[in-house]
Amino acid sequence: MPNKNPSRVLATVLLLTLLCLPAQATKKADSLSVKIGQMLMIGFRGVSLAETPQIAADICERHIGGVVLFDYDVPSHSPSRNISSPEQLARLTQELQKMSKIPLLIAIDQEGGKVNRLKPARGFPPSTSADHLGVLNNPDSTRAAALQCARTLKAMHINLNLAPVADLNVNPDNPVIGKLGRSFSADPAVVISNINLTCSAYREEGIIETLKHFPGHGSSTTDTHRDFTDITESWTEKELEPYRVLIAAGYRDPIMTAHVFNGKLDPLYPATLSKAILDGVLRGKLGFTGVIVSDDMQMKAIADHYGLETAIQLAIEAGVDILLFGNNTSYDPEIASKATAIIHSLLQKKIITEERINRSYQRIMELKQRYHINRT
Active site residues: 225, 295
Neighbours of 120 (CB within 10 A): 10
H-helix segments, 100-214: 130-136, 139-155, 188-204
User: Nearest CA to 260 among 285, 227, 286?
Assistant: 227
Segment 81-88 long-range contacts (CB within 8 Å, at least 24 positions apart)? 81/45, 81/47, 81/328, 82/44, 82/45, 82/46, 82/47, 83/47, 83/117, 83/118, 83/122, 84/47, 84/122, 85/122, 85/123, 86/122, 86/123, 86/124, 86/155, 86/156, 88/47, 88/48
Contact 342, 312 (CB under 8 A): yes
E-state strands within 222-270: 255-257
